[in-house]
Amino acid sequence: MATPRFSAMHRKKKLYVIALNGQHYPLPMFRAKICRETEACIERFDHFCPWIGNVVGVRNHKYFVLFTVFTFAVAVEVFISSVVIGTADPHHFKIPTHERAVALTLMSYTVVIMLAVGGLMCYHIDLVAQNESTNERLKGTYTLRRNPHNKGIFSNCFSFWCIPIRKSYAVAENKDDDLPLPLLHVEP
């Protein structure tokens, strides 16, 4: 008798297509994926981020990258302020000893934050420059073949930061409706 874990591993994978105007399109055509955490179809799926509690995809990737940039900038500012307060001349600036100790502790804490958030920020800036998603990079989608979406660093960055995102296909004609992306389950 098979264990439940073994049975779950050998279940058939559900296949989905996107249905638009009577035509069926495979999810990879839109670089889309069904997110395991939210069970939503996400166009140009990047990753599910537990830090922000949301899926990062085509419509919010720019804001996620900006979030990492500004979080890193705040960490740098806190670090610099902590260094200034922690190493200030106690005779020239009347800073109590306990405040200097707190500043030095905060300084070491922000170094860890700067390394973590700075690494994440650089990783996502590199992904933008290569026009690749976290999901594609982790799965090695373009390790053995050329990335067809990569148009060069300048063009990739320009389209990511300057070209507006088209409206979602999930938006209904009636703007009061909140319809999900039209997915169809297909038997393999």
Catalytically annotated residues: 49
Residue 139 in 3-state DSSP? helix
Rg (the chain; Cα; Å): 23
DSSP single-letter state for residue 162:
H
Residue 72 in 3-state DSSP? helix
DSSP string computed for 78-138:
HHHHHHHHHHS-TTTS---HHHHHHHHHHHHHHHHHHHHHHHHHHHHHHHHHHT--HHHHH
Query: 166 is written with which tokens?
Result: 């088209």
CA dihedral of 161, 166, 171, 173, whole degrees rounded to 10: 150
Please count the other Cβ atoms lying within 10 Å of the Cβ belonging to residue 167: 8
